[in-house]
């Protein structure tokens, strides 16, 4: 099969990773990168053309696919432009910044023939898959309760808290994990702390309780406020209790550390690391490889657009609950 001709739109933190993966992939040919910020050109792999005009990038001769890694406020516009050109689309999570935009994208996907997938990378994580598949497959009996804790460093919150909500940006992973494990959510109640870590009046962390339609209950605890000087860089913990078994992920710094005298701590990440031969490897590379293979073959993607939309709905309900200081039923957000 010939290499899939790809563009990357939005060459920031995530777009630069996708560009590097594609530039080193045998299955892809990175033909153009686009970002409205001229300075993003420094993050483009050597030799790849760069433009600040998305329309020019999407009209690139013989383009097959686009990786959209712009902030989620731009996802709807970018997806629409790509779908009109019948391009295959890898869209970074979350599917959109609002439920209305998520609905528009899901509706559009029914009208156009393009392949569209949303990159929820934990769906490719062997730890998360093992737990979710055990729970879904009935191996744990009836689910009783589930908890997910995802923490990231304070500099992330400081960079992002003014442009997006913690629920839409980071908690979306915890929400999707809860949904994947325990099914549809009926009601949420959220509380947030704003102690000034990420900015005055901005949320540092969210704690939410979740009632599932199945009768199980759950909780999520998410921050973007881990003190970066503390030595801890990430926490991904999950615990599931069923009537017939339990399973968990102990995910502090992915369970691996390289600590040396007088050197900064090194916590190698399964998301992104230098693989054999120097090739970028990890979950982001795995999801990009799956997407490239799925084009044309319509191979199944581990998260449907409806599930990606459901995660945005739960995040919206949590934000509503925090703002209105009351439990919110998901039915209040029905289409």
- By CB under 6 A, the residues from 124 to 163 that bind ligand NAD are none
CA distance 54 to 52: 6
Of 302 and 327, nearer to ligand NAD (C-beta) is 302
Among 34, 175, 206, 222, binds ligand NAD (CB under 6 A): 34
Any contact of residue 116 with ligand NAD (CB under 6 A)? no
> What residues contact residue 260 under an 8 Å CB cut-off, 6+ apart?
266
- Select the residue interacting with ligand NAD from 3, 24, 29, 36 (CB under 6 A): 36
Cβ distance to ligand NAD smaller for residue 25 or 72: 72
Instruction: Give dist(CA 310, CA 290) in Å, integer.
Output: 22
- Identified binder of ligand NAD from the candidate list 4, 6, 8, 11, rule CB under 6 A: 11
3-state SS string for the chain: CCCEEEEEECCCHHHHHHHHHHHCCCCEEEEEEECCCHHHHHHCCCCCCEECCHHHHHCCCCCCEEEECCCHHHHHHHHHHHHHCCCEEEEECCCCCCHHHHHHHHHHHHHCCCCEEEECHHHHCHHHHHHHHHHHCCCCCCEEEEEEEEEEEHHHHHHHCCCCCHHHHCHHHHHHHHHHHHCCEEEEEEEEECCCCCCCCCCCEEEEEEEECCCCEEEEEEEEEECCCCCCCCEEEEEEEECCEEEEECCEHHHCCECCCCCCCECCECCEEECHHHCEECHHHHHHHHHHHHCCCCCCCCCCHHHHHHHHHHHHHHHHHHHHCCCEEHHHHCC
Among 54, 116, 135, 146, binds ligand NAD (CB under 6 A): 54
* Binding-site member from 93, 123, 179, 309 for ligand NAD (CB under 6 A): 93
Residue 37 makes contact with ligand NAD by CB under 6 A: yes
CB of 183 to ligand NAD, least distance (A): 23
Q: For the CB of residue 65, give the shortest distance to ligand NAD in the complex, in Å.
A: 16
Which is nearer to ligand NAD, 186 or 289 (by Cβ)?
289
Whole-number minimum distance, CB 101 to ligand NAD, in Å?
A: 12
Tell whether residue 70 is a contact of ligand NAD (CB under 6 A). Answer: yes
Q: Does 35 bind ligand NAD (CB under 6 A)?
A: yes
Q: How many residues bind ligand NAD (CB under 6 A)?
A: 23
Q: Which is nearer to ligand NAD, 240 or 271 (CB)?
A: 271
CB-wise, 5 or 74, nearer to ligand NAD?
A: 74
Does position 40 interact with ligand NAD (CB under 6 A)? The reply is yes
Comparison of 72 and 114: residue with beta carbon closer to ligand NAD: 72
> Which C-beta is closer to ligand NAD: that of 109 or that of 189?
109
Are the CB atoms for 282 and 269 separated by under 8 Å? yes
68 close to 9: Cβ distance less than 8 angstroms: yes
Residue 202 CB, shortest distance to ligand NAD, in Å, is 17
| Residues contacting 141, CB < 8 A, separation 6+ | 242, 243, 244, 245
Q: Which is nearer to ligand NAD, 12 or 183 (CB)?
A: 12
Site for ligand NAD in 262-321 (CB under 6 A): none
By CB under 6 A, is residue 71 in contact with ligand NAD?
Answer: yes
Would you say 101 or 322 has its CB closer to ligand NAD? 101
Residues that bind ligand NAD (CB under 6 A): 9-15, 34-37, 40, 54, 69-72, 74, 92-93, 119, 121, 169
């Amino acid at each position: 099969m010939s290499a899939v001709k790809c563009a990357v739109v939005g060459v920031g933190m995530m777009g630069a990773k996708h560009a590097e993966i594609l530039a080193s992939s045998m299955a892809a040919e990175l033909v153009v990168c686009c970002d409205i910020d001229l300075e993003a050109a420094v993050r483009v792999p050597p030799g790849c053309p760069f433009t600040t005009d998305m329309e020019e990038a999407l009209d690139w001769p013989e383009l097959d696919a686009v990786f959209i890694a712009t902030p989620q406020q731009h996802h709807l516009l970018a997806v629409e432009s790509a779908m009109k050109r019948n391009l295959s689309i890898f869209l970074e999570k979350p599917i959109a910044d609002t439920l209305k935009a998520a609905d528009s994208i899901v509706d559009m996907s029914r009208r156009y023939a393009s392949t569209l997938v949303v990159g929820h990378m934990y769906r490719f994580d062997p730890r998360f898959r093992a737990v979710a598949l055990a729970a879904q497959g009935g191996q744990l009996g009836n689910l009783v309760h589930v908890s997910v804790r995802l923490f990231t460093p304070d500099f992330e919150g400081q960079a992002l808290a003014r442009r997006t909500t913690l629920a839409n940006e980071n908690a979306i992973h915890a929400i999707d994990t809860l949904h994947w494990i325990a099914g549809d959510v009926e009601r949420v109640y959220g509380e947030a702390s704003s102690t000034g870590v990420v900015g005055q009046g901005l949320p540092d962390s969210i704690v939410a309780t979740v009632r599932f339609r199945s009768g199980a209950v759950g909780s999520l605890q998410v921050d973007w406020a881990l003190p970066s000087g503390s030595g801890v860089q990430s926490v991904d913990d999950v615990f599931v209790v069923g009537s017939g078994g339990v399973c968990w992920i102990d995910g502090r710094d992915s369970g691996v550390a390289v600590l040396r005298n007088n050197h900064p701590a090194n916590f190698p990440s399964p998301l992104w690391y230098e693989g054999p031969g120097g090739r970028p490897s990890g979950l982001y590379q795995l999801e990009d490889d799956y997407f490239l293979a799925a084009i044309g073959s319509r191979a199944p993607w581990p998260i449907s657009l409806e599930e990606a939309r459901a995660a945005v709905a739960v995040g919206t309900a949590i934000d509503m609950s925090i703002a209105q200081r009351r439990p919110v039923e998901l039915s209040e957000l029905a289409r």
